[in-house]
């Protein structure tokens, strides 16, 4: 029960965060940017412009 309550609060907070402080269109832009950035990083890794270590640090793997 306690756990569910915490989950609900977390969800409410998250919803509030998304709805009130972080406009959804910006979130969408950020999401696209993250994907594009990862794709760009992969290209630069393949061309040996950045190292595997830099790639991994930036994509969080």
Interface residues toward another protein, by CB under 8 A? 29, 33, 36-37, 40-41, 43-44, 49-51, 54, 57-58
Minimum CB distance to another protein smaller for 12 or for 40: 40
Minimum CB distance to another protein smaller for 11 or for 28: 28
Minimum CB distance to another protein smaller for 11 or for 51: 51
SS3 letters across 1-61: CHHHHHHHHHHHHHHHHHHHHCCHHHHHHHHHHHHHHHHHHHHHHHCCCCCHHHHHHHHCC
């Amino acid at each position: 029960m306690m756990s569910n309550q915490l989950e609900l609060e977390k969800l409410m907070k998250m919803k509030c965060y998304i709805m009130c402080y972080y406009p959804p269109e910006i979130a969408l832009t950020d999401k696209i940017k993250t994907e594009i950035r990862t794709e760009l990083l992969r290209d630069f890794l393949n061309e040996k412009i950045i190292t595997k270590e830099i790639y991994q640090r930036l994509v969080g793997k």
